[in-house]
Amino acid sequence: MMTRALRLGVNIDHVATVRNARGGAMPDPVRAAVLAEEAGADGITAHLREDRRHISDADIEGLMAALNGPLNFEMAATEEMQKIALRHKPHAVCIVPEKREERTTEGGLEVAREENQLAHYIAPLREAGCRVSIFIAADRRQIEAAHRIGAEVIELHTGAYCDAYAEGRMDACDEELRKLTDMAAFADDLGLEVHAGHGLTYDCVGPVAALPQVQELNIGHFIVGEAIFRGLTPAISEMRRIMEEARS
Ligand code: PXP
């Protein structure tokens, strides 16, 4: 198949995590997002969690006002978040599962089990012009369900692949990569746009970036961490370089 262009979405949630550790206004995630755009990010991702542990409502307002490019607004499928999304109408809305007690988004959304509710939930978002993406595991049942409810995009959860890589469990890593490879092709055949993300680093991004159907990678925690050592612009440039090298 034809290899599609690959975009980088930079998730700036953890700039807000650092800000919130002290309260106050610094460091400003909106400033980081504008700088990330200037550094070559194709879009910005932000997750407004129910408990507002990092990104705040004011950050979303600030991002909508300041960004030149698209905002990918990550949110749980709650009434409150739907209202916020419909007020701002970001370019994309990515529906993620959310548990209060989790440290990060641990798994993909159970679309197959909640198909009817989710179909009703995303309809007004689509009518408002948002591209609706569903964050799911590389699982055929979930992809089919995402397709049936009318999502335009799926984002494949790369967490299990990245964890296996980081822990040196190379058999498990190969197995997770095989699932991502097969399911990216399966989703693309259904006409879904394929994104991927969670836990990606310079060391493990290459094989995911090389999947020809994947059109966007959303990467946050590693880039924000790496920015401490080399600055945000070089951290993003290096991620892009590795992605592009893997793609070619
Ligand atoms: N994509 C989705 C849907 C996410 O929930 C997250 C984490 O918020 C990411 C991508 C980025 O993951 P990470 O911060 O580990 O790069």
Spell out the domain ranges in the chain: 7-241
Share of the chain above pLDDT 70, in %: 99
Query: Whose CA is closest to atom 12 on ligand 1?
Result: 198
Has this prediction a pTM greater than 0.75? yes
Task: Say yes or no to pLDDT of 100 above 70.
Answer: no
Which residues fall within 8 angstroms of residue 123, CB to CB, at 6 or more apart? 150
Q: 171-225, pLDDT tens digit by residue?
A: 999 999 999 999 999 999 999 999 999 999 999 999 999 999 999 999 999 999 9
Query: Is any ligand 1 atom within 6 A of the Cβ of residue 94?
Result: yes
pLDDT at residue number 228? 98
Length in residues, the chain: 248
Looking at 37, 54, 74, 176, which residue is catalytic? 74
Q: 18-55, pLDDT tens digit by residue?
A: 999 999 999 999 999 999 999 999 999 999 999 999 99
Residue 36 Cα distances to 3, 47, 69, 110, 205, angstroms: 25, 16, 11, 32, 18
Q: What is the CATH number of domain 7-241?
A: 3.20.20.70
Report DSSP letters for 68-80, one per residue. Answer: SS-EEEEE-S-HH
Q: 237-246, pLDDT tens digit by residue?
A: 999 999 999 9
Atom of ligand 1 nearest to the CA of 135: 3
CB atoms inside a 10 Å sphere around CB 108: 24
Which tokens hold the place of 34? 């504008």
Looking at 98, 193, 198, 216, which residue is catalytic? 198
